[in-house]
Structure 1
Amino acid sequence: MRLLLRHHFAKPHTRTTVLRRLSAEPHPSPPPLPPSSTTSSTIPQILSLIQNTDPNDWPTNPELPTLLSSLSPLSHLKLARQLPTSQNALQLFHHVKSTVPQPDATSSLSFIFQAVFEHALREHSDSASKLYELFVLSKDEKIPVTINAATLLIKRFGQARMVQEFVQVFDALDPDLRNTHVVNLLIDALLKSGRIDDALKLLDEMLKSDTGYPPNNNTVDIVFTALLKRGWGGRCVNEEEIYKLVLNFSEHGIVVNSFWLTQIITKFCRSGQCDKAWDLLHELTSLGGDVETASCNALLTGLGREHNFVKMNLLMEEMKEKGIPPNVVTFGILINHLCKFYRVDQALEAFEKMKDGDFRIEPDVVLYNTLIDGLCKVGRQEEGLKLMERMRLESKCKPNTITYNCLIDGFCKAGEIERGHELFELMNKDGVESNVVTLNTLLDGMCRHGRVSRAVELFSEMQEKGLKANVITYTILITSFCSANNISKAIKLFDEMLECGLSPDALVYNSLISGLSQAGRMDDASIIVSKMKEAGFYLDVLSYNILISGFCRKNKMDKVSETLKDMEHAGLKPDRVTYNTVISYFCSKGDFAHAHRAMKKMISDGLVPNVVTYGALIHAYCVVGKIEDAMKIFRDMSSSSKVSPNTVIYNMLIDSLCKNGKEEVALSLMDDMKDRGG
């Protein structure tokens, strides 16, 4: 082992700390002192002589050598511990070394040096450096370290992150004295310094059948505390390595406890390795491991994320067969995932089985809320309401804010605003506190169904009651007022929002930009754009298109050009809507040269002109009486571009042809229109 360790650890000086829980692992204690009729009187006698004699005179004192020779090694330890300082203990060491015959004094010298270490640990604030200095001295003096001295040094060097020194102590320790506790300390230090491969090699040594220091539960704690820690400094240990470690521990009779198994299964599932988590759980069960509910719950959560409801149900059956009792969390996981994927009927079946089957588990408010929300999400809010009533009558838990919010949201989304408001009033009557989510849910429902004025009234009422609005509240209202073209009210709310210290999100800015542009207030829209950029948000293609459309309506082509450049600098490419807006503008001005140039640029950017593009050109040519040019665009549209003309385009051309005395061509177009199903 000594040669193996020296080969593994011939690396630059590194440091680490010792696992906190190791302080709870008992240190090997020295055996009790053997009965001696002289020990109790000899040690005080020696102490008196030492304290009253100059150390330089100890060799000439006729009594001291005799008295020291009469002490056992452990009595030497007891004597050295009673000296005032490490320096005194070191003086005793040198005196015994020079006066007591070798090798009889070797054990005594080791124990005296243990006391030197113990004194130094207490005396020095920078004890690690001093202890290492003393350790080097003990090696120079060829004094073996005791197991307790080694443990003391290893722990202190570990705390000081002196890993290389830690290894030196381990190497210096007699192989026959090495024990599981000391090896655990070394593995922990290596793991915490990121030397994962060295730690795992040493762990492999522990796992050999003939080792004198087999792993124990503390070994498991040390290894998995490091390997499952997020963001730790060592290399990533993959799921296969962890899987093998768990099985190796099990072969040595150490089955990882429920806590670690739960953590490992959670890690596997988050890494998309649910199958491996499944195999591990069943492998440990077959080895006689005591699998608990928490570990099964972790696996259920992972299977739920993968929508593997077959295995979820199978695991539930296996838990029943093996006597692993599911709890409210178990059913909560199953019901939550069933509701998320709109399997509400299956969720209700699981709920009934939980209450009235073999389990008789009392649902908690979280589980009721999950089911009620699931019912509302699929438009079954009436059933959700009945379940809340059942909750009131049959369970110990009562509806809370979340219960009411789920139901209010369900009714509002279904357009039943009055029912939602009735629930809000019932909520207040029952003494259930409403929150900003309640307010936002009602406001959103009202605004979506054209009840903006009532939404504002409710907003004012809630503010008077002391309920503070959040960003979502203002976003709902501002967006609604912009959609209703009530820009002045939207701006007022925006200013109020800023005064309240709330930071608008991108949706608020985009809503204002759209509303101001639609209202033709392009200067104000530009100001909002500037504020949006200052807040760290960026316009998307939709917002740029809204601005470009607004500037076109105001005949501000310089601003259009500026906006297109800004769009390019932002790394965004114009889309078909952008080009169609610009082409339509040029067409409306009779500027066909620029319109065709924009169309060519559109095609070169990989965008195919659509019916809107062709319609703008055809309409413009018809307006100025250039019917031949309009027909040329029409034929090009039908043949080369393969874009089917719509009824609007046919009607424009037919009307223009008739006005220009070309009734036969108009009739031909009408037949063509009928053939195409127009």
Structure 2
Amino acid sequence: MSNTISFLSGKAEARFILAVCGNVSKGNWSLLSHTGITNLFTTSNVTQILLKLSADTTLSWSFYNWAHSLPHYRHSLEPNWTMVHLLTKDRKFIQARQLLEKFALKSLLSSPLVLGPLLNKFPSTNSQVLCWLVMYYARSSYKDALEVFYVMKSAKIRPDLHACSALLSSLAKEVLSDTAWKVFDDMRQLGVVPNTYIYNSMLHVYFMSGKADSAQRLVTEMDAKQVPLSIFSYNILIALYSKKKLHYEALCLQERMKKEGISPDIVTYNSLILGYCKEGRIREALRLFEEIKRFGLKPTQVTYTTLIDGYCRANDPDNAIRLMREMERKEGIKPGLVTYNAVIRKLCELQKMKGVNDMLNEMDERGLKPDSWTCNTLINAYCKRGEVGMAFKVRERMVESGLRLDAFTYMAFVNGFCKTRQLDQAREQLFEMTHAGFIPNYSTWSWLVDGYCTQNNPGAVLMIPDELAKGGRVDCKPLYRTLIRRLCKNGFVDHAQKLLDQMLAKGLPGDGLVYTVLAFAYLREGQTSAATETLNEMVVKNLEISRKIYISVSSSYADQSDLLMFLWAHASEKGLISKKVCRLIENLQKNQAPL
């Protein structure tokens, strides 16, 4: 007998399938395990055997698992898909779902090219299996979940509410509010009638994207369709309104909850308290705290930590520490790392380093290890005090603890070295920052450029782009723009011009902001002809002064309004300012005119 089924005729294969089914029914597994028989199994005849045995799903399942154990055979997509549907049809949902999840990822089931042809095989169970696929993919890959959903839409298969909720929740995590709304609309077109849970998923989408107006429109729709709001609905809305500083609207929702017989829970109050504490409005937050106790709710670590942070934001670290002691003494709630971080941040801001060390010692006694946030706060504090050596010790401990340095860490060191006039070290930190994959912002480069200019060494600034370019570490155009702007700000317009020439020689075009700042710098230095020439270059290059450029330059040189007005008038004559920006300038002039 041959090792492959391909040598069997159609009739022989049919007899083989019937013989296997008969032996499976009788439990003759030892007979089937003969090498001459096991070598005849293919995914095609295994699928047919599964279907022949499907009157008793237990037999199909036993054969499926037995075949899977064979050394020279592996189930492909066809028998896997068949077995899932047979189990589903027999309402063995747990086994079916577990099996589906085992092969879904490696079989690329989310692909329409793979999934589409499978839909004709088991139409009665497609809906359930596809819903499981959506839920499975939604846990790790919203894109795959979307692919399956749109296969369902093309086949006019209505997803169940669990699949809808899972997909919308995955889109919420990715802050894809527009995509979520389209999916929500498509679901309704397929006949899905949203319930409270589905609406809650959409409210979560709008919470993650900070769209309070959209959330309110959704609530209006829920009211119109008489879909009740749950405690989760209210809590997520209150959290959203509090985040957006819409305190009145948040409190109105709290009142509506009470009228509808839904008692606010600790999550409700925590959201309201957080909104006030973020603005340093500790009195309003404490009023809500008293309300919590009056209604018999138990404050959580989140409640206390939020209030402690609120005291810190209100520049009251003493009461923050008092409440920290109270939470443990009265409620038995130990402060967590976030609690300590809030207090340490404020003590660092106030340069109360003894208090900081006390907190760090207390953390150590409790077995709480500083995280990146703690370390960055300490590094920043030491750098601001000019104690860069102490900051480096914290950095060493960070690395030893396996914590990664982030952009904030590098920025703190750049700032610290610039404050102590150690500019070469500051530059090294900046280069190290770019090498680590972080992009320094305008302020970070400004500290270094301002430092060199203070030391009357603008030539050092001219060398920065080429030094960075050696390692291919940074996008040169934004860097040139930043360096030129700061040199102009510090009165080194000739060096700024050299940088622009260097930039152009490398094939990097200057933009409207660079030329506008350069023209103003020439005017400020009394070089009117050079300013005019710069504006003429803008005309030749078809550059214009946009609203954004106008606001940026006006803000940077607000103390030189007369000179700015001369620049805007000169630029307007050359057609460099659009009518829209001209109207903006006129309106601002009217508002600033003396009464």
TM-score exceeds 0.5:
yes
1:255 equivalent in structure 2: 125
Aligned-partner Cα distance in 2 for 1:495–1:646: 56
Please give the secondary structure, in 1, of the residue aligned with 2:184.
helix
1:365 equivalenced with 2:231 (yes/no): yes
* 1:256-655 pair list within 5 angstroms: 256=126, 258=128, 260-267=129-136, 270-272=142-144, 274=146, 276-278=148-150, 280=152, 283=155, 292-298=160-166, 305=176, 307=178, 308-309=180-181, 312-313=184-185, 315-316=187-188, 319=191, 326-342=194-210, 344=212, 347-348=215-216, 350-351=218-219, 354=222, 357=225, 362-395=228-261, 397-465=262-330, 466-551=332-417, 553-554=419-420, 581=447, 584-585=450-451, 588=454, 592=457, 596-605=459-468, 606=476, 607-608=479-480, 609-613=483-487, 633=495, 642=515, 644=517
Letter in 1 for 2:464: K
Q: Using the alignment, how far apart are the partners of 1:670 and 1:330 within structure 2?
A: 55
Residue 612 of structure 1, CA deviation: 3.0
1:267-287 CA distances to partner (integer Å, 9 max, x unpaired)? 5663356375255267465xx
2:131–2:163 Cα contact (<8 Å) kept = yes
Q: Deviations over 1:544-597 (max 9, x none)?
A: 34334434554667866875786687577887766665565555556x4xx524
Between the aligned partners of 1:645 and 1:453, the Cα distance in structure 2 is 50
Q: Counterpart of 1:255 in structure 2: which amino acid?
A: T
Deviations 1:281-331 (A, max 9, x none): 67465xxx9x75435545655777563435525644764xxxx76543233
C-alpha contact (below 8 Å) 1:637/1:643 kept by paired residues: no
After TM superposition, the structure 1 stretch with the greater mean CA deviation from structure 2, 377-386 or 607-616, is: 607-616
Measured at CA, do residues 670 and 416 of structure 1 come closer, stay the same or move farther in structure 2, by a change above 3 Å?
A: closer
* Alignment partners' CA distance in 2, 1:340 and 1:652: 50
Tell me the SS of whatever aligns to 2:122: helix
8 Å Cα contact 1:157/1:165 also seen in 2 = no
Distance 1:242 1:189, change over 3 A: farther
Shift of 1:190: 5.5
Distance 1:232 1:419 in 2: 52
Paired position in structure 2 for 1:65: none
For 2:235 and 2:186, the matched residues in 1 are separated by 25
Match of 2:27 among 142, 152, 156: 152
Task: Determine what percentage of the aligned residue pairs are the same residue.
Answer: 20
2:5 aligned with 1:6: yes
Cα drift, residue 399 of structure 1 = 1.6
SS of 1:420's equivalent in the other structure is helix
Preserved CA contact (<8 Å) 2:242 2:272: yes
Return the structure number with greater relative CO, CA threshold 8 A, min gap 6.
1
- 1:404: how far off? 0.5
- Larger CA deviation: 637-646 vs 183-192: 637-646
Q: What's the TM-score once normalised by structure 2's chain length?
A: 0.64
2:169/2:204 contact within 8 Å kept: no
- Structure 2 residue runs without a partner (length 5+): 9-15, 469-475, 503-513, 528-559, 570-595
SS of 1:676's partner is: helix
Deviation of residue 498 (structure 1)?
2.8
- Could you tell me how far apart the structure 1 residues matched to 2:236 and 2:51 are? 59
Partners of 1:348 and 1:574 lie apart in 2 by: 39
Between the two proteins, the alignment pairs up a number of residues equal to 489
Q: Counterparts of 2:562 and 2:160 in 1: how far apart (Å)?
A: 78
CA 1:7–1:268: 2 relative to 1, 3 Å: farther
Cα 1:615/1:340, change in 2 over 3 Å:
closer
Distance 1:403 1:157, change over 3 A: farther
Gap change, CA 1:477 and 1:281, over 3 Å in 2: same
Residue 405 of structure 1: CA displacement? 0.8
Q: In structure 2, do the counterparts of structure 1 residues 201 and 531 end up closer, same or farther at CA, with 3 Å as the change threshold?
A: closer
Per the alignment, do residues 5 and 387 of structure 1 end up closer, same or farther by CA in structure 2, a change over 3 Å counting?
A: farther
1:271 match: secondary structure: helix
| TM-score of the superposed pair, with normalisation by structure 1 | 0.58
For 1:248 and 1:280, locate their aligned partners in 2 and report how far apart those are by CA, in whole Å: 15
Is this contact kept in 2: 1:192–1:226, CA < 8 A? no
Pairwise mapping of residues 109-148 of structure 1 onto structure 2 (< 5 A)? 147=22
Once the 2 structures are TM-superposed, how far is the Cα of residue 261 of structure 1 from its aligned partner? 4.0
Tell whether the 8 Å contact from 2:212 to 2:241 is kept in structure 1 after alignment: yes
- The answer to whether the Cα contact below 8 Å between 2:493 and 2:522 also exists between their aligned partners in 1 is no
SS in 1 for 2:517: coil
Match of 2:242, SS state, is: helix
- Aligned residue for 1:676? 567
Q: Which amino acid aligns with 1:6?
A: I
Kindly indicate whether the alpha-carbon contact (under 8 Å) linking 1:404 and 1:423 is maintained by their aligned counterparts in 2: yes
How far is the alpha carbon of 1:473 from its aligned partner? 1.6
SS of 1:391's partner is: helix
